[in-house]
Amino acid sequence: MRSRRPNAQKKFPTINVPYSAVYVIIAMFVVASIIATYACFEPLVMSTYSLFPRCPIVQLPRINLCGCGAINLELRQFALLLASVAISVTWVVFRNEDWAWLLQDFLGVLFSINMLRVLRLPSLMICTILLSILFFYDIFFVFVTPLLTKVRSSINN
């Protein structure tokens, strides 16, 4: 009969995920956040034309994108684009601070609103399938993520 040490912990298999994969996910979140912030606040910026009719309209030069089309922005739209980039970059720089979760949640809400604007779900069956997939996605990240990390938790303290 084998004796067992009283303080022995059961070892779980560890899956080694390259740390660079985290930066790829962060980059994808930043790009999606910039697009969502711009898309959600653009109607507000465009309403300033009717609210402030005396404010001049400054058209920026057209920017060609190597065969992908062209960008034709007005100064207010460019300022919104800069603000969107600034908000996302602020989150990247300060994402480990205690208050950064507020900014991350704000960006996540903007992303969700943008997805509701972009996606058209024509039937209840498609909505049910999508929500079921999101349900299993959430279960995966709640219960499987601790197995992927060394400290066995989803959040490092």
Q: What's the gap between Cα 83 and its chain centre?
A: 16
pTM of the full structure: 0.68
- What do you get for the CA distance between the two ends of the chain, in Å? 40
Among 33, 28, 144, residue whose Cα is nearest residue 88 = 33
Higher pLDDT, 104 or 146: 104
The pLDDT tens digits of the residues spanning 22-40 come to: 788 889 999 999 999 999 9
Whole-angstrom Cα distance, residue 88 to residue 30? 6
What are the residues whose beta carbons fall under 8 Å from the beta carbon of 13, sequence distance 6 or more? Answer: 147
Which pLDDT value is given to residue 123? 86
How does the average pLDDT of the chain come out, rounded?
A: 80
The residue behind tokens 């970059």 is 89
For residues 138-157, average pLDDT? 67
b/e map 122-147, b = 16+ CB within 10 Å: eeeeeeeeeeeeeeeeeeeeeeeeee
| Sequence-separated (6 or more) residues with CB below 8 Å from residue 127 | 121
pLDDT digits (tens, 9 = 90+) for 62-112: 777 676 667 778 888 889 999 999 999 999 999 888 998 899 999 999 998
